[in-house]
Structure 1
């Protein structure tokens, strides 16, 4: 089929096709992508805030400090691990160990974040098998490989990428009447991921 040639006169006298539908389509797609991006990011931030729960102690600053773990002995009774909040609040970061249901010692820690929130969970940098951490400024540092995480949400900052992929696991503590309570079942079921 031969191409239809348009004369110069017809090029300027013919009515131009409207580009409005294409323009509206592009604007619509950009708006949908923008709204989806904002919605997903707002959910991520909520998760960060809920990961450690609400503040349970006064806010503090660890800037310029390196705080090592203090070893404690928690109470285990009625399927719960109990630690006085005051002990963690005073020492900033504590450690203890309990056996899981495979008779493997699970290293655990609890600490207060600069915003006063509580983390209680595993104390293992799983790829390097480091079992102790320190609070340094605004970071949580593995004492073995020096991998650093954000104190507030355990996001990887620097160090070994393999270790950064496995931050300490939150064991969902609750605080009642000045006592931190962790369900023993959480520790019994804990396994090394890497």
Structure 2
């Protein structure tokens, strides 16, 4: 009888510890960044030379990417949340041909070759493609949207595909 009681007490204790761990979700940023966040594809709105994406999509997904058609061809762009800031960059790794990056805290990780880049500056850290920093794209926030100029996206892309 005592062994059954001891087993029951241990089982209840383990369940309480597990439940307490599951209920502690006050630190969302730590939880979200504990595992690299892969990018979610979103659809931009393109009107003439203006590209618009909703801030809400970035807030909800943390790491997003999208494509736009330009006179230079189709260009991939990434937009991600870094702390309280939103960052928009060219989304290409020229040597390996990737257009996908995961966000691991403040590090961008190429989904193909695993080269790492500083998510704040876009500069290469380690790996085969470090000589191709990810150029930032200027934007404004208006009515809950990120607003960019198509020409700025093309310029950032061209600067990213050039070594250096």
Q: How does 1:166-177 map to 2 (within 5 A)?
A: 166-177=132-143
Partner residue in 2 for 1:60: 29
Q: Is the 8 A contact 1:147 1:159 kept in 2?
A: yes
TM-score, normalised via structure 2 length = 0.72
Q: Is the 8 A contact 1:139 1:148 kept in 2?
A: yes
Q: Residues of 2 paired with 1:154 and 1:140: CA distance?
A: 8
Q: Residues of 2 paired with 1:172 and 1:60: CA distance?
A: 25
In structure 2, the CA distance between the partners of 1:73 and 1:63, relative to structure 1 (3 Å rule), is closer
Q: How does 1:18-167 map to 2 (within 5 A)?
A: 60-61=29-30, 62-102=32-72, 104-113=73-82, 115-160=83-128, 163-167=129-133
> Which one has a larger percent strand, Structure 1 or Structure 2?
2
Q: Is the 8 A contact 1:139 1:149 kept in 2?
A: yes
Give the Å deviation of 1:155. Answer: 3.0
Cα RMSD after superposing both structures: 1.9
Q: Which of 159, 182, 185 is 2:148 aligned to? A: 182
Q: Residues of 1 paired with 2:48 and 2:115: CA distance?
A: 36
In structure 1, list runs of 5 or more residues that go unmatched: 1-58
Q: Residues of 1 paired with 2:70 and 2:111: CA distance?
A: 23
Residue-pair matches, total: 132
In structure 2, the CA distance between the partners of 1:142 and 1:178, relative to structure 1 (3 Å rule), is same
Q: Residues of 2 paired with 1:188 and 1:63: CA distance?
A: 30
Give the Å deviation of 1:80. Answer: 0.7
Q: Residues of 2 paired with 1:106 and 1:178: CA distance?
A: 23
